[in-house]
Amino acid sequence: MSDLENPFQETLISRHRAEPCTVVIFGATGDLTNRKLIPAFYNIAACGDLPPQFKVVGFARRDKTDEVFRTELEAGNRKNSRQGHNEELWSSFSQCIHYHRSEFEDLDGYKSLRVLLDEFDKERGAPANRLFYLASAPEAFKSILEMLRAAGLNEGVGGKWARVVCEKPFGKDLASARALNHVVAETFEEKDTYRIDHYLGKETAQNIMVLRFANALFEPNWNSRYIDHVQITCAENLGMEGGRGGYYDTAGALRDMVQNHLFQLLSLVAMEPPTDLSADSVRDEKVKVIRALRPLIGPEAVGKNVIRAQYTAGSVDGVPRVGYRQEDRVNPQSNTEPYVALRLFIDTWRWQGVPFYIRVGKQLPKKATEISVHFKKPPQVPFATNNLIKNSENTLVIRIQPDEGIALRILCKQPGQAMNMQQVKMDFRYSSSFGKASPEAYERLLLDAMAGDATLFARRDEVENAWKFIDELEKAWHKTDNPPPMREYPAGSWGPKEADDLLRQDGREWRLL
């Protein structure tokens, strides 16, 4: 294992701190800034990792002062900060927060932003790096990028860098993703472009590579010889609360979750070992996984391997829930799926014949995201006369949320004279093992963007190859004469029976969460 240990050790030891930096958040009055970004910066400051002379500028249309903006963000931080809210720390931290009012299409607003950033540099006595965060609605990305370029803000000052962070969704199909990538490429180089996916900032997601490649227990067995199948589940126990129905009904589970979050997890599980832990080495291997996905083309192939469904009226945790088509801002005749289950195959030597089952849905019984790796059963010759328990295969469960951690399920003999076996769990939890909760995903990702580490961000070819696969499924659903049917399931259940049948016809079952 020595050849595998050095790259991890070198990367972990050599992580560098970010230099003085100004972050400009476009769409700063939105929910993301209030609920995630500012609390993330605050917690970074609480840990002592914020760059010196740090500044953050909120860029939005509404008219307000720095003090009004800070007061609004303070209320959000009290509610959302991982480490609680400390009055003294906030008083100091909030002084780095500023507000700049402008329309996204107004070039003069960007020119005055440049003057403000130059003033900050004069106060510091030297130029600082600049990070532009697109937290606005996706339709505003093009205007913002064009205005940044027209105002000359896409170029660093005095040898310092300028970078852009793009929130999802990054396009709605292959054509729009390519068009947006073209606009980004005209404004920022690929090395300065950070397409964010907060799932990759979660500690357990980051730990997948260490688990796989740094442990002799798993590395030799991570292939089709020993693994029977893999399941990836993302369950939500909510529906269209907060007015989200308007957006969601134009996207659906496939485009909102599978194309980005779940394909990223799939890539980490299935990738080959990178030559080192540099950003491009890791992303080279991840994109190979997406390119190796067996295509599903046409209604027949899609219908056999993909189940889409909408929830009907039911209850979750005893609370009555309306059906999807009765949700606020959802078309009563909607043909959008809040649930999708897929059976995928990766046509590589390592994974030949191993199915990957993915499911994501709204209004399910609980909120949980996990990966479960189901190993093949050994020959049961010594125990052939005993009653083996159902689903007795060894299973490695990687919990992404909540209660991040890893569990290994194995068979053991029950106490007593009889040779009765029972499945037991060896459990690792971040909070109990390390004595503290994991940092929020945005904390890690924001630090990485400021430090210039793009490992946990999607590269252009990753995004486009994922959309290429997804577009074929969308085409079969919406652009053919005989599309696969839309299934139904009651709110509070684990999905449609057809999704269960997808596994049962292979002699398998979804893992109970």
Amino acid at 337: E
Active-site residue, from 182, 261, 374, 478: 261
Closest CA to 493 of 235, 288, 272: 235
DSSP 158-214: TT--EEEEEPSP--SSHHHHHHHHHHHHHHS-GGGEEE--GGGGSHHHHHHHHHHHS
Report CA 245 to chain centroid distance, whole Å. Answer: 20
Give me 82's structure tokens. Answer: 């991982």
Give me 447's structure tokens. Answer: 């630090």
CB neighbours of residue 363 within 10 Å: 30
Please give the torsion angle defined by the CA atoms of residues 463, 466, 468 and 473, in that order, rounded to the nearest 10 degrees: -140
Residue 16 is among the residues annotated as catalytic for this protein = no
Q: Please tell me whether residue 439 adopts helix, strand or coil conformation.
A: coil
Q: In which element (H, E) is residue 406 found? A: strand 405-413
Rounded to whole angstroms, the Cα distance separating 226 from 375 reads: 6
Give me 198's structure tokens. Answer: 């907060």
Packing angle, helices 141-150 and 107-124, rounded to 10: 60
Start-to-end C-alpha separation, the chain: 34
| Cis upstream peptide for 295 (omega within 30°) | no
Q: Is the separation of the CB atoms in 43 and 150 below 8 Å?
A: no
Beta-carbon contacts of 121 under 8 Å, excluding residues fewer than 6 positions away, are 127, 128, 157, 158
Long-range CB contact pairs, 88-96, < 8 A, 24+: 89/42, 89/45, 89/46, 90/42, 93/41, 93/42, 93/45, 94/70, 96/54, 96/55, 96/56
Residues belonging to the active site: 261
